[in-house]
A and B are shown apart, each in its own frame.
Chain A
Amino acid sequence: MGRIDRIAEPWGTRTPYGPGETWPTRVDSYLADGLDEHDVDRWVQSATVLHSNGDALDIAVKDGRIAGVRGRAGDRVNHGRLGPKDLYGWQANHSPDRLTEPLVRRGGELVPADWDTAMDAVAGRTRELLDERGPGSVGFYTTGQLFLEEYYTLAVIAHGGIGTNHLDGNTRLCTATAGESLKESFGSDGQPGSYTDVDHADVIALYGHNVAETQTVLWTRMLDRLAGPNPPRLLCVDPRQTPVADAATVHLAPRPGTNLMLMNALLHEIVAHDWVDHDWVSRHTTGFDDLRAQVADCPPERAAEVCDVPAGDIRAAAQLLGSAERLLSTVLQGFYQSHQATAAAVQVNNVHLVRGMLGRPGCGVLQMNGQPTAQNTRECGADGDLPGFRNWANPAHVEDLARLWNVDPLRIPHYGPPTNLMQILRYAEQGSIRFLYVTGTNPAVSLPELARVRRVLAQERLFLVVQDIFLTETAQLADVVLPAATWGEKTGTFTNVDRTVHLSEKAVDPPGGARPDLDILLDYARRLELADQDGAPLVTWTDAEGAFEAWKACSAGRPCDYSGLSYDQLRGRSGIQWPVNDAHPGGTERLYADGVFPTDPGYCETYGRDLVTGAPVEPTAYRAANPSGRALIKPAEYVPPHEPPDDAHPFVLTTGRTLYHFHTRTKTGRAPQLQRAAPDVWVEVSDDDARAHGWDEGDLLRITTERGSVEARLRISGIRPGVVFLPFHYGYWDTPGGYRPGGANSADGAHGRAANELTPTDWDPASKQPLFKTAAAAVERIAAGDGSPAPAPTTTASRPVRDVGTHTRGDERSLALETLPDGGAR
């Protein structure tokens, strides 16, 4: 066993392995207060929640408190490893400022109340609005961090009980494009691939996916392949010099907003060189001819101009894809939150379809998730879709659900696609939505154009309920705040990107009067007296396992089939990949191994959308294309981004993440090691741009768009010239402004710290995912620095191009344990 500072070394020690071998085990653990394993009273099974990787771990409990975590050696996902956020982030559970009692607004102030008062207010206002204005006046906005059981319960309440179409999750900001692109190509959500594809791939292509920071353990797996014999070659598409770009054989840094053109050029080359598996294409796909026609006029030279990437590099990238024998592709926010998101992500699927590279070891697509339970938000229908990947445009699917819930099919809104989050906000802005129930997410920092978001949420006529574990920026605007229990304090299941289901058990009691989200939702349903068509309670379960059993019945026969799973099966064992049913009792490692896709018109989750306009495809048109069982190759034409730079705003602003924080720092900002590693907002500019303007490391810059301005200190990084980067994590809860810019420390109160002060209200027409990667911005220097560097990590994509004299590292309290395969130290 060795001690290692996982702030300074986020990916830990290499355990190299070769293609087709098993990834060696390395058990990471961190215990607080100098405890060692013998001091721990008990270990409680769970998995990680501060990213999407789904790494299995055990929670250490000492004297009724969480005292640390340890990776589960036997788990298929992480083989014992944990990332820095997992090792240190749990400490936030103990923060003294946890919410421990409900709050209600009285005379403009949030004051403590008992649960009855708070819940009566919430249910009472809902009932009033239903009577006066109907279900269209009620909306729900949830997260990607609750448990499956909670999402399914929420979906039943909203869709089957209240009958509103206005339900979405913050997965809309995160993985809506992942889900949509899978639906468009394969007929249903669900990752074709598996993390074990990393063990076999000879080429790994990462599109807008800085995996080194967003899924550290998955990157560790790739690093271990890179350190072993016959390593894979990497293709990286990213405007920043990320750790992935450092390791890549080919790195393309396109102009933000031009991903689709780049993909079309790569496909142009693949078609032109006939790196196409024609036999596979003709047996398992439709649409290849349309794709060929679409990409015919996208040669590398044209893309080179549009994307500002050398044509030779595009050719080299295409050659890499074309020569791969086992190609693994991953996609994330660089595509999902950028212009033409779905269209670009679908072209990644198309690369695999034309190359016939799916369903075999090493041949996978991972349309990544960002959050731990995003997959559950989607499959349970808490993102507004119908539960179980059912198709809202297919009356038989709606009837099926109505039977299961014993309600009139007309009660379940299906007259149109579900209302996406940004439209829900618009309805609230216009006043037709009067009640918004937010669970576990912080839109007052995470949505685009924050001044507008604050204005909408603060409206008198909007009754805002916020259920969370801290008094977030959003909670400060609420009419009622409900204190929730969090991970480690409640039981439930969750599913990661590669369909691995884990059970997370309750380890300790929540603080004070905080309650599990499930209990609060069940209480809400009870107070609303939601009933089925025979007058019996609509929600029939009373605990997590009961909800899971109900969900199993709902998922049976659908692509995300959980019917063969149980809590008992998940207990003690490692994670299991859905579908799990009679045909696959041990789970399913890869989908579509037989080349059969869930595209049959009677079975598919969607009839698809026009990737450019977003218009839903009519059922008759879908049937006419006769996709039954075949994957759909859907091409799309490039459209220029909506806010190009101009003289007044010459830079392109892109926002993103750092390894050390998650979301709006509600948890990571309260874990001392993580907070110290990335204590405050910074802005990244390229060396070229800094020189041209005479800016230096540490200077205070002001970044301005049409929507607002942010001040941040400069890090000169390896970002593409012409582009500025802001991390989006930093809001106001730990500033004098509380929930908005301003307060005692701010000179004039007008300049923000949250990147989303600047981002535009715009979204992808197909996935409805808001866009955060293309805004035109002006940058000016407000004050020269004092010689100290920007508060940006030096270990990651934000690392300086020149030595700035300091390095991101932890202290005594950051030393974690590593147990290597030989049992020895590192």
Chain B
Amino acid sequence: MMVRLTAALRDLYRDETELAAALLRVADRHGADPELHHGCHDLARWSEQHATDLVEAGRRYGLGVSEPAGYGAGYGAAVDGAAADAVDPGLLLLADLRDLHRRSAGVVLDWDVVAQAAQALRDRELLALAQASRTQAERQLAWSKALVKASAAQIMTSPPQDAS
């Protein structure tokens, strides 16, 4: 009877897992930018934890996914890896951050949906999880935006051939 909630949990599980994968992909691609690289790894860990917690909490609502494969392993392929090499690295950086930001925004909203449902169902456990995870998702969201703001001016005002 909670078919919709089950679907929402499944979507959220997928989105958190994909966010973690995207973070690790971006980390790989920007190894020479430590703030981005390490930040991605640290924040991927949060998303992975959220996904793991979701599996636990979602079981009662028929969420039947297996746990994530473990930190750093087996997440989605680097879809645009080859294409990325051809792009201006400054623009690629902004594009990657934009992608992370968009994904994080989706995750924040998903957690809102779950939190609302948990409240209506008086499921304290799920509510606590939703609130804690949402807070971290919001911090992920703010982080990608902050990196865009810190680098956009320099990238936009320097000629593209500078990039190495």
Contact = CB atoms under 8 A, between A and B. Distances in A.
B69 interface: no
Interface string B108-120: 0000000000000
A426 interface: yes
Contact of B158 (A133, A416, A615): A133
B142 A610 contact: yes
Given A427-B154, A430-B162, A639-B45, A614 B38 contact: no
A362 B90 CA distance: 52
Given A639-B45, A765-B35, A615 B162 contact: no
A610 B39 CA distance: 12
Contacts of B139: 610, 612-613, 615
B39 A613 contact: yes
B67 interface: no
A306 B39 CA distance: 21
A227 to B, nearest CB: 45
B145 A615 contact: yes
Contacts of B163: 430-431
A614 B35 contact: yes
Nearest to B152: A416
Interface string B135-162: 0000110110110011011110111001
A763 B34 contact: yes
Interface in A743-776: 760-763, 765
A613 B33 contact: no
B150 A613 contact: no
A431 B162 CA distance: 5
B149 A136 contact: no
Contact of B159 (A133, A422, A423, A429): A133
B143 A426 contact: no
Contact of B42 (A430, A432, A639): A639
B42 A614 contact: no
A390 to B, nearest CB: 19
Contact of A430 (B150, B157, B164): B164
Contacts of B55: none
A134 interface: yes
Given A430-B164, A761-B34, A765-B35, A615 B154 contact: no
B143 A432 contact: no
Contacts of B29: none
Contacts of B158: 133, 136-137, 431-432
Nearest to A135: B157
B54 interface: no
Given A429-B164, A431-B162, A614 B153 contact: no
B32 interface: yes
A92 to B, nearest CB: 35
Contacts of B149: 415-416
A165 interface: yes
A431 B43 contact: no
Contact of A613 (B41, B43, B45, B152): B43
A763 B163 CA distance: 22
A762 B38 contact: yes
A238 B109 CA distance: 44
Given A133-B159, A415-B153, A431-B163, 18 more contacts: A133-B157, A133-B158, A136-B158, A137-B158, A165-B153, A417-B150, A429-B164, A432-B154, A612-B42, A612-B139, A613-B39, A613-B42, A613-B43, A613-B140, A615-B145, A642-B41, A763-B35, A765-B35
Interface of A: 133-134, 136-137, 165, 415-417, 419, 422-423, 426-427, 429-432, 610, 612-616, 618, 639, 642, 760-763, 765
Interface of B: 32-35, 38-39, 41-43, 45, 89-90, 139-140, 142-143, 145-146, 149-150, 152-155, 157-159, 162-164
Q: For the complex of A and B, list the 5 residue pairs with the smallest distance between their C-beta atoms, beginning with the closest.
A: A615-B146, A432-B158, A431-B162, A613-B143, A615-B142
